[in-house]
A and B are shown apart, each in its own frame.
Chain A
Amino acid sequence: MAAVDIPLVGGHAEDEHGDPHANYLKAKHGIASWMLTVDHKRIGLMYLTMVSIAFLIGGVFALLVRLELFTRGKTIVDGETYNRFFTLHGAVMVFLFIIPSVPAALGNFFLPIMIGAKDVAFPRINLLSFYIYLLGLAVILLSLVLGAVDTGWTFYTPYSVQTANSVLSMTMGVFILGFSSILTGLNFLVTVHTMRAPGITWQRMPLFVWGMYATALIQVLATPVLAITLLLLFSERFFGIGIFDPKLGGDPVLFQHFFWFYSHPAVYIMIVPGMAINSELIATFSRRAIFGQFAIAMSSVALAILGFLVWGHHLFVAGMSEFATMIFSALTFLVAIPSGVKVFNWTATMYKGSIVWASPMLYAMAFIFLFTIGGLTGLFLGTLSVDVHLTDTYFVVAHFHYVMMGGTVIAFLGGLLYWWPKMTGKMHDETKAKIAFWLVFVGFNTVFIPQFIMGSRGMPRRYYDYLPQFEPFHKASTIGSWILATGLFLTAYTLLEALWRGKRAPRNPWGSAGYEWMTDTPPCLANFHATPVFTRGPYDYHLATPEELSTGWDEVEAESAGAHGDKSHRDKTKKNGEAKR
């Protein structure tokens, strides 16, 4: 396939959006051109900036939590403040970072490009969703100032109804953020249905797009229930309507049902995009078509749907009826299957592939390893009888950090490193990226493996103080958090450094067959210079022409011939970038 040169239907010359053929970063200038942009790429970058800040805030709270737990009793703060730290860590990480992260930052940027569209279906709603996110962020920061919440990010009643802390502003912030999520999901759903370029059938659609689509399904169907949950919490707090209060005929477990009906699918909003990125990374760095492409696509949709059926596994010891617990436990086993399909297919893809150990691939490998641990421990927790012992211990904490951080964050970092050249036109330093990866990997496991162990030995979660036998584990975990933080800071530094010191990236530095690599690096404003027609799939290395797969490093090197350059870096990439035919 060479992109057939069809003039853009309804194409314009330069209009108020800028020259459609210019580099999107340079098409318009000035801060207003960013704050009022409707270009999905710029919106994606703005989201990326904000979620990174949110990650920093949430990460600082995590470091504070771990620091407090370094020794028994009081280390730096009292119990009440500690409760606020872990609540804020959870709320900021879940609602401000991880749920928007991949869809709003990378999804916004790449979904239209990967289906050959000029933008998402509703660009102005896209911008609106960003401003709603900012508003939600502001309200949550307000709640911090007003004294913060200590209920845990799950806001369980009756405590959240009775506590004097700033529950109202925190839940209002979350309520607002929910709408940002809904609008993003709505946009993606309609875009995928109505704006695919000629030749992109559902079967050929890149797996990243399938992942965004499945995520959008969940966002649209689950988040409204969060909205009504928070509204009922507000009514309970302010009017005392009694729906969660046993003295007035209500039931606090009802709150948990309402809350987890959203929050369980929410964890699939978190992981499915990470898996979607992983599919892209594994295909590119194995230089092979993904094994079972349509099966992986369907498994994303299956996760989306099955994820709605299992929320009760968060309520196993809350006092649910036995019948309900049995149903939910059985359904929880079902939901592990699609994840298994993906892991097997990725492994099969790598078999006899031509593996390139670039930094994104290291993250992809780490994802498989860490997500498998997280997923398997999820099955332990889904087993009703075992859960009675493990629930509300550090085992649960370790489990969800393995899937959320070892899964989504790892994939997010891998995706950032993979697509950084495409988004910015600059190449980052691979050496630093790899060192940072190992720090992250070692640090992460040092934090959380001790937590599995102490959780299974009875250390409860959200506890300020603990018994002496857990102290070595807590100390190890805290030291791990410092290693992890160092790795993350180094990754951030590597990416930012590329912006002013990085080499100019060629069109396709990784030699990928993916659709997004067929256009300029960075993309032009309209994404493609002509409406593309795709006659092969995005992973069809056997069908792609050498010109499509060429990395373009030769041209870049020729341009800076004789100048300083990381020669070893260039040679390595060039050698690995060549196809084995």
Chain B
Amino acid sequence: MANVSESAHGEVAHDGHDVHAHAHPDFLQHHFDTPAQQFDASKLGMWVFIATEILMFGGLFCAYAIWRGLEPEIFDQAHHFLNKILGATNTVVLLFSSLTAALAVRSAQVGKRNATSAYLIITILCAFVFLIVKYFEYSHKFHLGLLPGHCFGHPGMSAAIQNGEEVGTCLRMQGDASPVMPEWVKAVDESGHVQLLSPRANMFFGLYFVMTGLHLIHVLVGMSVLTWVLIKNLRGTFSPQYFTPVDLGALYWHLVDLVWIYLFPLLYLVGKPE
């Protein structure tokens, strides 16, 4: 049986070579017996990780479900301050990026290095588009004062407006025993109607920012992961026998898309239409 000494893990460029049952390819780690075992283990590990992410986001969906059940009027009203078109655009962008991520994996599976790189780049660009749209949404709320917690009603996170100038910030290092209550907010919603939001609407915006904020962090992580995979691909690390990082990176990206598939209707779409 061939006793091939192990090189550094998969950094050396090689074309997809014939792997005989007894050869010891560079990408095969020392504690695995076969590439199939390594691949199965990596995929299972990724799916277990995805399960943990679902449970983590799930806690937020639980909070959403409970608050929506107890305070449906607040949710119905507040969601009109989210722009459905921007939300739908983000949805389409993420779905498209999921497609290109899946195509990147497919290209890696058949050994087409350039196509893999191209698809990965498009995926990352879509992520940038998502970020830009999110920036517009967040800054709009920032200016209206549709912010979480005690910052609700304080445009630009100001604590007070004196003589037309901002004074201090509404953020605190810890909650207060007797908090200053959020203010009523009069603002124009996305359909152009002026609405008066009660101070308790900050509950909705708190959930909105925490949920989309956590999702945003995952988008950033996903972009980094895909960039790293792209770099490895450009170095020629992958082959039809070894494309695991592309597969796992794409799986992470699909997870990001999955979370958004649920976030979008629950935050933007469900509520009494005008």
A-to-B contact residues, CB < 8 Å: 7, 9-13, 15-17, 117-123, 125, 158, 161-164, 167-168, 182, 186-187, 189-191, 193-195, 220-225, 227-229, 231-232, 235-243, 245, 247-250, 254, 258, 531
- The distance in angstroms between the C-alpha atoms of A328 and B60, with both chains bound, is 23
Residues of B within 8 A of A235 (CB): 148-149, 206, 210
A223 is contacted by which of B40, B52, B202, B207 (Cβ under 8 Å)?
B52
Contacts of A164 in B (CB 8 A): 174
Tell me, rounded to whole Å, the shortest Cβ–Cβ distance linking B19 to chain A. Answer: 11
B227 within 8 A of partner (CB):
no
Collect the chain B residues with CB atoms within 8 Å of residue A190's CB: 41, 44-45, 48
Whether the Cβ atoms of B60 and A250 lie closer than 8 Å is no
Measured between beta carbons, the chain B residues less than 8 angstroms from A161 are 174-175
Q: A158 touches which one: B44, B53, B175, B206 (CB < 8 A)? A: B175
Counting CB contacts under 8 A, is B150 at the interface? yes
Q: CB < 8 Å: which of A12, A162, A222 contacts B175? A: A162
Instruction: Give complex CA distance A158, B5 in Å.
Output: 60
Task: Please encode chain B, from 29 to 64, with 1 for each CB lying within 8 Å of some chain A CB and 0 for all others.
Answer: 111111001001100110011011101111110110
Would A189 and B59 count as touching, CB distance under 8 A?
no
A240 in contact with B149 (CB, 8 Å): yes
Contact yes or no, B48 A243, CB < 8 A? no
Of the A-B pairs whose beta carbons lie under 8 Å apart in the complex, a sample of 30, sorted by A's number, is: A7-B1, A9-B34, A10-B30, A12-B24, A120-B31, A121-B41, A162-B174, A162-B176, A167-B174, A182-B52, A187-B45, A190-B48, A224-B52, A228-B56, A232-B63, A232-B210, A235-B148, A237-B174, A238-B173, A239-B150, A239-B209, A240-B150, A240-B176, A241-B207, A241-B210, A242-B149, A243-B207, A248-B182, A249-B71, A258-B62
Cross-interface CB contact of A241 among B32, B52, B149, B174, cutoff 8 Å: B149
Task: Tell me whether A12 and B56 are in contact in the complex, defined as CB-CB below 8 angstroms, given that A186-B49, A245-B179 are known contacts.
Answer: no
Query: Which residues of A have CB within 8 Å of B175?
Result: 158, 161-162, 236-237, 240, 245
List 5 additional A-B contacts (Cβ < 8 Å) besides A186-B48, A239-B206: A10-B33, A12-B6, A13-B5, A221-B55, A231-B210
Main secondary structure of the interface of A (DSSP, over half): helix
Contacts of B148 in A (CB 8 A): 235, 239-241
B206 touches A242 (CB 8 A): yes
Query: Is B171 part of the contact surface with A, judged by Cβ < 8 Å?
Result: yes
Q: Closest residue of chain A to B54, judged by CB? A: A224
B203 touching A243, Cβ below 8 Å: yes
Min C-beta distance of A566 to chain B, whole Å: 39
B239-265 vs A, Cβ < 8 Å mask (1 yes, 0 no): 000000000000000000000000000
Contact (A238, B171) CB under 8 Å given A220-B52, A245-B179: yes
Q: Are A12 and B179 in contact (CB under 8 A)?
A: no
Say yes or no: A118-B30 contact (C-beta < 8 A), given A190-B48, A247-B181, A250-B203. yes
Q: Is the pair A194, B40 in contact by a Cβ cutoff of 8 Å? A: yes
Query: In the assembled complex, which residues on chain A have CB atoms less than 8 Å from the CB atom of B28?
Result: 10
Interface contact A186-B172, CB-CB below 8 Å: no
Chain A residue at minimum C-beta to C-beta distance from B74: A249
> What residues of A have a CB within 8 angstroms of the CB of B5 in the complex?
12-13, 15
Q: Which of A13, A16, A120, A220 contacts B51 (CB 8 A)?
A: A220
What 3 A-B pairs have minimum CB-CB distances, sorted nearest first? A241-B206, A228-B59, A240-B149
> Are B37's CB and A194's CB within 8 A?
yes
User: In the bound complex, what is the Cα–Cα distance between A250 and B67 (angstroms)?
Assistant: 8
Q: Indicate whether B94 reaches chain A with its CB closer than 8 angstroms.
A: no
In the complex, which residues of chain A have a beta carbon less than 8 angstroms from the beta carbon of B66?
254
Which of A121, A122, A123, A238 gathers most chain B CB within 10 Å?
A121
A195:B203 contact, CB within 8 angstroms? no
Query: Roughly how many angstroms separate A168 CA and B173 CA in the complex, as a whole number?
Result: 9
Q: Is B163 an interface residue (CB 8 A)?
A: no
Which among B31, B57, B174 is the interface contact of A119 at CB below 8 angstroms?
B31
CB of A445, distance to nearest CB on chain B (Å): 39
Compute how far the CA of A506 lies from the CA of B74 in the bound complex, rounded to whole angstroms: 71
Q: Given known contacts A225-B59, A232-B59, is B51 in contact with A240 (CB within 8 Å)?
A: no
**Shortest CB distance A242–B (Å):** 6
A193, closest chain B residue (CB): B44
Per the bound structure, the CA–CA distance linking A249 and B4 in Å amounts to 66
Q: Are the C-beta atoms of B59 and A258 separated by less than 8 Å?
A: yes
A112 to B44, CA, bound (A): 17
Residues on B with C-beta less than 8 A from A182 are 52
Chain B nearest CB from A187 CB (Å) reads 8
Q: Is B200 an interface residue when CB atoms closer than 8 A count as contact?
A: yes
**List of B residues within 8 angstroms of A242 by Cβ:** 149, 200, 202-203, 206
Complex CA–CA separation, A223 to B70 (angstroms): 27
Bound Cα distance from A15 to B60, whole angstroms: 47
What's the nearest-Cβ distance from chain A to residue B23, in Å?
9
Instruction: Give chain A nearest CB distance to B185 CB in angstroms.
Output: 15
- Note all chain A residues with C-beta closer than 8 A to B207: 241, 243
Residue of B nearest to A221 (CB): B55
Q: Which residue of A lies closest to B61 (CB)?
A: A228
Q: Which residues of B contact A221 (CB under 8 A)?
A: 51-52, 55
